[in-house]
Amino acid sequence: MKQEEIIKGFVQLGQLMCHLGENKEWIDFSIGTTKEEYESLQMVINRQISFNGWFSKENVRKSLLELGKRLTLEELSTWTENYSYSTSPKKVALIMAGNIPLVGFHDFLCVLISGNTAVCKLSSDDKTLLPALGKHLIDFVPGLKERIIFTVGRIGEVDAVIATGSDNSLKYFEQYFGKYPHVFRKNRTSVAVFDGNETEEQIKELGNDIFSYFGLGCRNVSHLILPKGFELKRFFEGVYSYSDVINHNKYGNNYDYNKAVYLLNQHELLDNNFVLLRESEELFSPLSMIHYHFYENESEIDDYINKHKDQIQVVVGKEGFPFGSAQCPMLDDYADGVDVMRFLEKV
């Protein structure tokens, strides 16, 4: 099978994902499905919240759209020309997380577009979206039928492993899959760095980095690094348009719980009725809470980021990603900074 065929299939899949992400009506077969197949995919999207209470229709569609926008002929061709294509497919186990919808899609794309076989072990929190898309990808490229395997049982012999999970699951990964060439990922989070000159619109965009997927992704900002004297009122005003997040039952429960616990323990909090701010140099913050600390000179920013470099996924703001772009990675923006395509070349 030629790589060009696989690229063409993913381009078609991208068009379908964008159509679904924008919640458009089925028009004709140009998106690659019949009306009945398209409506079936819509039902898959609508049912996600019954499998995972965090997977609202809006969040599922957002993920489909952000991923689908990257699957263009130009972007895929430019990206893949930097890597070799395998003519002898290797079996690569993909152990996927389930914190946000389709969080393992990029690994799935890397394995298939590099000419290998994806053996997918799905999280119980996200077990139907990727198989539904995979079915249509096979319709577009029938040769991929033997290259896409979804397993619910024990993973057999493979040539390599890419596994994403928590710090606790890393021990499991090392115990069972350490003998294979591997990429293991654990807990990470993201930070935003202010220089004090941010506009109201930029801070509003930062709200997308914080509240997308309810803050559950490793690319979600959970810590603010602020210049000394920064007025936190500006932050609260900037992100106010995201206040509806509190109406989600699970997020609201986390907000109420964390507010009660921290106040009971006499921690000082700032509160705008949908997110809590706590001054702390701790990188990770509980869901519905953002940590922040102040700096006096830029060397303090560098020191903090270097100290936590193995736990930070994305830096947004000053000298980092633009505000609002943390959840919109390009194809070559690899998780944990590990070039998966280059890793697969060496398997």
CATH architecture of 3-187: 3-Layer(aba) Sandwich (3.40)
- State the pLDDT at residue 153: 85
pLDDT tens figures, 224-243: 999 999 999 999 999 999 99
Residue 324, by phi and psi: left (phi above 0), alpha (psi -120 to 50) or beta? left
CATH number of 189-317: 3.40.309.10
- Nearest residue to 185 (alpha-carbon basis) of 164, 159, 200: 164
Domains 3-187 and 189-317 equal at CATH topology level: no
Tokens found for residue 305: 């980021």
Side-chain-facing half-sphere of 20: CA atoms under 13 Å: 32
Q: Which of 200-204, 251-255, 318-322, 332-336 has the lowest mean pLDDT?
A: 318-322
Q: pLDDT, tens digit, for every residue of 284-341?
A: 999 999 999 999 999 999 999 999 999 999 999 987 999 999 999 999 999 999 999 9
Domain map (residue ranges) of the chain: 3-187, 189-317
Which DSSP category does 154 fall into? -
Picking from 188, 196, 164, the residue whose alpha carbon sits closest to that of residue 315 is: 188
What average pLDDT score do residues 239-264 get? 97
